[in-house]
């Protein structure tokens, strides 16, 4: 059995030491603080991500508490919370709109956004998170959806309030804020979807309206759930990944690390990913790591621990941007492999080289501190200087 508070300051700053101990002792152990078993090794995490005897949908899910009705209405239509056949149908329709062509077509937009933000960075020491890491992905999401970029502050506010629901130790204040944000975002999207029906544009919302497969189309609720997921999962993860990446690159050598941006990004995702825990519900009896599980049980898959497994990765605790074999699980796997992974990769492959090309002497001027936001792993602030 493990006892480890996710709020413990030492754990917040370095969860990897705990993961190493758990992996050596387990690798599947009961984590008392979460009231469930957790898998810490790569082999088990990789296998369970693909095992259809487990899934994301909550068995026998009932009505939400009244104060979470708006939040629940969005979550119920999220790809992340569904299983086949609903998941299969919805993902297929979403991919009709969220194509590789549309993602590749964003490259020039991403470059233009990065260039504009880099030109506007302040003088002297400044926090890179709100001035660059946060603004690149939210402006990309706005362009992707087709909503005005001036809505960036609203999108950031809604996203921050909703994703707080997945952090350890949520309370009624967090729940009320998330519910309000979900209601506001849903109301905006509902109106915007109707507007696009009568005035189609070259944006994702128009494509979602037009998406059809075998005569089936997306409902308004499914479109809203998809757009909210793209904002919350896509934007938040990329913000954290960019911040963690800059920290790792400055500690290493940006010029050397970014010779191959694709490999560098994959190594960042392995070495210091933005999401460390992803849970699964058990649907059928299963044996995992010497433990028996049955319907109603829940298992935590420790993505952050799997990426540091020495059984799979040579010198797992070292940042190696030239690493060739890099079968990390930071984007999940199986049916729930992150639908936004290609966009996140493209954003990072552009935003990181452009940052260090513009600021080749970038230095971190204050010791970076990770936020108490587990199971997200992100920097609270990243104070840097260009000289």
* CB contact at 8 A, 167 and 374: yes
| pLDDT recorded at residue 387 | 78
Rounded CA separation 240/70 (Å):
26
List, in order, residues 6 or more apart from 256 with CB less than 8 Å away.
321
Give pTM, 2 decimals: 0.94
Distances (CA, A) of 299 to 1, 35, 54, 294: 14, 10, 9, 11
| pLDDT recorded at residue 233 | 80
| pLDDT recorded at residue 373 | 94
Q: What letter would DSSP give residue 147? A: -
| pLDDT recorded at residue 64 | 87
Q: What is the block-wise mean pLDDT of the chain (387 residues), using blocks of 10 residues?
A: 96 98 95 97 98 93 90 92 93 90 94 97 94 96 90 92 92 96 95 92 92 86 92 86 96 89 96 97 96 96 98 96 94 94 96 96 95 95 92
In the numeric block, the tokens 């991500």 are attached to 49
| pLDDT recorded at residue 256 | 86
* CB contact at 8 A, 40 and 299: no
> Could you tell me the sign of the dihedral formed by the alpha carbons of 172, 302, 266, 56, in that order?
negative
């Amino acid at each position: 059995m493990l006892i480890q508070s996710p709020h413990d300051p030492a754990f917040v700053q370095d969860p990897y030491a705990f993961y190493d101990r758990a992996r050596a002792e387990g690798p599947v152990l009961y984590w008392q603080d979460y009231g469930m078993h957790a898998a810490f090794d790569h082999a088990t995490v990789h296998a369970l991500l693909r095992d259809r005897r487990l899934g994301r949908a909550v068995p026998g899910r009932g009505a939400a508490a009244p104060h979470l009705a708006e939040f629940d209405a969005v979550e119920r239509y999220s790809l992340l919370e569904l299983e086949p056949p609903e998941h299969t149908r919805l993902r297929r329709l979403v991919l009709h709109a969220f194509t590789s062509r549309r993602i590749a077509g964003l490259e020039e937009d991403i470059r233009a956004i990065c260039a504009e933000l880099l030109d506007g960075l302040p003088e002297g020491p400044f926090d890179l998170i709100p001035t660059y890491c946060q603004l690149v992905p939210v402006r990309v999401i706005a362009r992707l959806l087709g909503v005005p970029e001036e809505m960036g502050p609203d999108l950031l506010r809604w996203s921050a309030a909703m994703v707080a629901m997945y952090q350890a130790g949520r309370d009624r204040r967090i729940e009320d804020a998330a519910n309000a944000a979900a209601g506001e975002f849903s109301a905006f999207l509902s109106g915007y979807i109707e507007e696009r029906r009568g005035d189609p544009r070259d944006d994702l919302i128009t494509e979602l309206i037009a998406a059809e497969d075998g005569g089936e189309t997306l409902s308004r609720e499914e479109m809203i759930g998809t757009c909210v997921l793209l904002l919350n999962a896509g934007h938040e993860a990329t913000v954290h990944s960019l911040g963690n990446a800059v920290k790792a690159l400055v500690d290493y050598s940006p010029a050397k690390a970014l010779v191959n941006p694709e490999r560098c990004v994959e190594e960042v995702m392995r070495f210091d990913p933005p999401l460390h825990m992803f849970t699964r519900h058990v649907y059928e009896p299963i044996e995992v790591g010497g433990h028996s599980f049955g319907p109603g049980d829940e298992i935590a898959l420790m993505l952050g621990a799997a990426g540091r497994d020495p059984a799979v990765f040579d010198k797992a605790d070292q940042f190696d941007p030239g690493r060739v074999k890099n079968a990390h699980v930071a984007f999940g796997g199986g049916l729930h492999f992150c639908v936004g992974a290609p966009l996140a990769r493209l954003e990072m492959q552009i935003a990181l080289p452009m940052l260090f090309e513009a600021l080749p002497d970038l230095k971190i001027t204050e010791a970076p501190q990770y936020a108490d936001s587990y199971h997200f792993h992100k920097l609270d602030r990243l104070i840097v200087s260009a000289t």
